[in-house]
A and B are shown apart, each in its own frame.
Chain A
Amino acid sequence: MRTTLLLTGVLLAAPVLAGCTDNATGSDAAGSDDRSFTVAASDDACDVSGSQAPSGALRFDVTNTGSQITEFYLLADDGLRIIGEVENIGPGVSRSLTIKAPAGDYLTACKPGMRGDGIRAAFTVTASDDGEQQLSASDQQRVDEALAGYRLYVRDQSAQLLDKTARFVALYKAGQDDRARALYPEARTHWERIETVAESFGDLDPLMDAREADLEPGEDWTGWHRLEKDLWPAEAGAYRAMTPAQRATYADDLLANTRTLDDRIQDLDYTVDAVANGSRGLLEEVASGKVTGEEETWSHTDLWDFQANVDGARVAFEGLEPIVADHDPALAEQLTTRFEQLQVLLDAQRTADGFRLYTDLTQPEVKALADAVNALSEPLSHLTAAIV
């Protein structure tokens, strides 16, 4: 059982998550009807009985009316940070999610087939006095909530990584190079969002994410960037394209490693300093590889990775933000502001299908991004000390 590996039963103790209890009663939801909702989750719809609630403990009773296993999520309005989820709801099964939510904009999502972004809808939580009382929590509760939220986030990103990697390698093996090239940065987004977690598996990381320049002489080169070079051979000079058999070998290897990674991530548990250090670490990844354009040597899709690293760092910070705001409000405010300032610069580089290529950026644009990364990284290096 995976749950036996959880430290201190954090997940079960955290009221935020509630999650897996079929027998929760109305009393868990503060006995307030305007905080209780039903969700009819079919194969092509996600009907929530309301789209607005006062802050406090919310309850969602989810019934799977479809034919596939489904999941239900309450997400922060960035669509990335998971406030709460129920997984593995079989056809005909009902489960409930009880969760504490402060005022703000959210998204509800059902994931029939447990794939993709899910069927999403906006959900608003308004401020309410009795709700704020319900929300006051001790540091330990907040830590538990932050850790549980982060754990869910990593698992969700890993699942999406596995899903998109499977599609990517299928396209690549089938010689559908245009479609493979289009999916490449999108799939890698999920890797980059959890890069510091993935890198904690020292055996998998070099097999999956090594760049050619990282290799020792004679070392076999596998993973994403091996395929990247084969998909963008024009950049590679006298490069000899892989045969279909070679393609299959390297593609299957990447998929197998991605599956292993996903398996291991199910068992992972986190400490609060690991989450904080992971946030800092993701910005270091940006500073050392993405803002320099060294990560995607052939595809030049570095800004996708850049954004994904920033996503992961921000999600980790936002989970910890209530604690930081208590201990060091100036730091919390500064980090929030500087995440926003960096995001403004990244948004300016967006195109219809993603981001401009690194090689299309001007030197002043790169410098401005580097400045914003430095501006954020310096206070981010104080995050761990502010929460432990």
Chain B
Amino acid sequence: MAAARISRRGLLGGGVAAGLAGGFAAGRASADDTVTPAVTSYAFRGEHQAGIVTPAQDRLHFAAFDLTTDDRDEVVALLQDWTAAAERLTRGDGAGEVGPVDGAPELPPDDTGEAIGLPPSRLTITFGFGPTFFDRLALADRRPAALRRLPHFPADVLRPEISDGDLCVQACADDPQVAFHAVRNLTRIAFGRASMRWSQLGFGRTSSTSTTQDTPRNLFGFKDGTANVKAEQPEVLDAHVWVGADDDPAGGWLAGGSYLVARRISMSIETWDRQPLVDQEAIVGRTKGEGAPLGGTAEHDEPDLGAVTGLAPTIPVDAHVRVVHPSQHGGAQMLRRGYNFVDGSTPLGALDAGLFFLAFVRDPDTQFIPVQQAMASTDAMMEYLEVTGSALFAVPPGVGPGEYVGQGLLV
């Protein structure tokens, strides 16, 4: 967990939390954060990378890169340069050593400048390696078995140009310009060694990763991420998020890291909006206002999957909350950290909107793939969803003093 810098206004309570898991869930009743803005920045270095259990920031800029070199030394240099830049950026400094306006006039500035005057905005930058990274650098013997392209799921209509990637950068901040600034400058630093494959903006977090945060809503209007793994549950994190030293003989370097699943889920929101409230709630399995499981009264009530109303289950058999519930999947949980997105509109006048689903898991084979398969085949919500982008990355552990991100993999 990244150490938080605390402003002189004082400590924040909690700062870190944990939650449960499940696809689209719901949360507590009130509007938004209970996180006070006391924390303004997070250190880049630490035991784990920041941006996982860090209380979810409001904005996202996620980018996937492909290597344009197969020279391992060049890739090491890139990761060193990225590490140095990320450390500066998360402090609220420029991407380069000099800064946006203090350099020689005949040189392009080493920082692009749009974050001048902006605070760190709780920026976190989280790096990951895709399966193809290992092919590119002849590191197949260090690729964990679970790190491979996700299988095809029903309702996947994947566009290759917004799927996969050798590397990923997840930049989260409370200010969208700060997150964008980070990705822009890291992209610039990478030219000649890696090039952007795709990127995704997210404008509203759809999960809370701390008990100090209220549950936000996705674009269906429902609370999302009620049952999330949260930072305040270290034993749950160890069991479900952090990779163990002995999880995979090829993946010792990943101990203390995690797997990051990224899925661009388009929502047919215009069609959804025509569904009667009672149908919407039956599809989700929760009430729209409070977010309580059907049959319950409060958001954090445990769904009673055995409850029956009349002759039918209170929570329908194809309700989202049931289909993805940990009890249906051997207790599998994931730490979700997704964001709403709207990428303009389609030629037919529909909003190109949805959920950019991000989840951190210890083992995608047991914690994500079966849940996604169940969801794709039996979840009533799938009628309104289409997955257009997909990727899986291994997120290495935190970066120690003097190290660069991913050093354990490349030394």
Chain A residues at the B interface, C-beta cutoff of 8 Å: 273, 334, 338, 363, 367, 370-372, 374-379, 381-382, 384-385, 388
17 contacts between A and B (CB under 8 A): A334-B192, A338-B192, A363-B161, A371-B68, A371-B195, A372-B68, A374-B191, A374-B192, A375-B191, A375-B192, A375-B193, A375-B195, A377-B191, A378-B188, A379-B192, A381-B108, A384-B106
Shortest distance between the CB of A363 and any CB in chain B (Å):
8
A385 touches B104 (CB 8 A): yes
Q: Is B107 an interface residue (CB 8 A)?
A: yes
Most A C-beta atoms less than 10 A away, residue of B188, B192, B195: B192
Chain B residues at the A interface, C-beta cutoff of 8 Å: 68, 104, 106-108, 161, 188, 191-193, 195
Instruction: Determine the residue in chain B with the shortest Cβ distance to A337.
Output: B192
Shortest distance between the CB of B287 and any CB in chain A (Å):
46
Instruction: Determine the residue in chain A with the shortest Cβ distance to B187.
Output: A374
A385 touches B191 (CB 8 A): no
Shortest distance between the CB of A331 and any CB in chain B (Å):
11
Which A residues lie within 8 Å of B188 (CB)?
378
Q: How far is the CA of A379 from the CA of B192 in the complex (A)?
A: 9
Q: How far is the CA of A334 from the CA of B69 in the complex (A)?
A: 13
Q: How far is the CA of A338 from the CA of B108 in the complex (A)?
A: 19
B192 touches A382 (CB 8 A): no
Instruction: Determine the residue in chain B with the shortest Cβ distance to A388.
Output: B106
B191 touches A378 (CB 8 A): yes
Which B residues lie within 8 Å of A382 (CB)?
107-108
Which B residues lie within 8 Å of A273 (CB)?
106
Q: How far is the CA of A378 from the CA of B192 in the complex (A)?
A: 8
Which B residues lie within 8 Å of A377 (CB)?
191
Which B residues lie within 8 Å of A372 (CB)?
68
Candidates A334, A338, A378, A385; contact of B106 at CB < 8 Å: A385
Instruction: Determine the residue in chain A with the shortest Cβ distance to B192.
Output: A375
Which B residues lie within 8 Å of A376 (CB)?
192
A374 touches B106 (CB 8 A): no
Q: How far is the CA of A379 from the CA of B189 in the complex (A)?
A: 11
Q: How far is the CA of A388 from the CA of B195 in the complex (A)?
A: 30
Nearest first, the 7 A-B pairs at minimum CB distance are A375-B192, A371-B195, A378-B191, A385-B107, A385-B106, A374-B191, A381-B108
Shortest distance between the CB of A327 and any CB in chain B (Å):
13
Instruction: Determine the residue in chain A with the shortest Cβ distance to B68.
Output: A371
Shortest distance between the CB of A7 and any CB in chain B (Å):
20
Which A residues lie within 8 Å of B191 (CB)?
374-375, 377-378
Q: How far is the CA of A388 from the CA of B188 in the complex (A)?
A: 24
Shortest distance between the CB of A16 and any CB in chain B (Å):
26
Q: How far is the CA of A375 from the CA of B191 in the complex (A)?
A: 5
Q: How far is the CA of A381 from the CA of B108 in the complex (A)?
A: 7
Which A residues lie within 8 Å of B195 (CB)?
367, 370-371, 374-375
Shortest distance between the CB of A287 and any CB in chain B (Å):
11
Q: How far is the CA of A379 from the CA of B193 in the complex (A)?
A: 12
Most B C-beta atoms less than 10 A away, residue of A338, A370, A374, A381: A374
Instruction: Determine the residue in chain A with the shortest Cβ distance to B106.
Output: A385
Which A residues lie within 8 Å of B192 (CB)?
334, 338, 374-376, 378-379
Q: How far is the CA of A382 from the CA of B191 in the complex (A)?
A: 14
Which A residues lie within 8 Å of B108 (CB)?
381-382
- Other A-B contacts than A375-B192, A375-B193, A381-B108, 14 sampled, CB-CB below 8 A, are A273-B106, A363-B161, A370-B195, A374-B191, A374-B195, A375-B68, A377-B191, A378-B188, A379-B192, A382-B107, A384-B106, A385-B104, A385-B107, A388-B106
Instruction: Determine the residue in chain A with the shortest Cβ distance to B66.
Output: A371
Shortest distance between the CB of A336 and any CB in chain B (Å):
13
Which A residues lie within 8 Å of B193 (CB)?
375
Which B residues lie within 8 Å of A370 (CB)?
195
Which B residues lie within 8 Å of A384 (CB)?
106
Which B residues lie within 8 Å of A371 (CB)?
68, 195
Shortest distance between the CB of A79 and any CB in chain B (Å):
28
Which A residues lie within 8 Å of B68 (CB)?
371-372, 375
Shortest distance between the CB of A305 and any CB in chain B (Å):
22
Q: How far is the CA of A375 from the CA of B108 in the complex (A)?
A: 15
Shortest distance between the CB of B248 and any CB in chain A (Å):
32
Q: How far is the CA of A370 from the CA of B188 in the complex (A)?
A: 14
Q: How far is the CA of A367 from the CA of B188 in the complex (A)?
A: 16
Q: How far is the CA of A385 from the CA of B107 in the complex (A)?
A: 6
Which A residues lie within 8 Å of B161 (CB)?
363
Shortest distance between the CB of B388 and any CB in chain A (Å):
17
Most B C-beta atoms less than 10 A away, residue of A334, A375, A388: A375
Q: How far is the CA of A16 from the CA of B174 in the complex (A)?
A: 60
Which B residues lie within 8 Å of A375 (CB)?
68, 191-193, 195
Shortest distance between the CB of A272 and any CB in chain B (Å):
11
Shortest distance between the CB of B132 and any CB in chain A (Å):
14
Q: How far is the CA of A363 from the CA of B107 in the complex (A)?
A: 33
Shortest distance between the CB of A247 and any CB in chain B (Å):
40
Shortest distance between the CB of A386 and any CB in chain B (Å):
9
Shortest distance between the CB of B74 and any CB in chain A (Å):
11
Instruction: Determine the residue in chain B with the shortest Cβ distance to A381.
Output: B108
Shortest distance between the CB of A317 and any CB in chain B (Å):
16
Q: How far is the CA of A372 from the CA of B193 in the complex (A)?
A: 10
Q: How far is the CA of A388 from the CA of B107 in the complex (A)?
A: 11
Which A residues lie within 8 Å of B106 (CB)?
273, 384-385, 388
Shortest distance between the CB of A276 and any CB in chain B (Å):
9
Shortest distance between the CB of A149 and any CB in chain B (Å):
22
Which B residues lie within 8 Å of A363 (CB)?
161
Q: How far is the CA of A385 from the CA of B193 in the complex (A)?
A: 23
Shortest distance between the CB of B202 and any CB in chain A (Å):
24
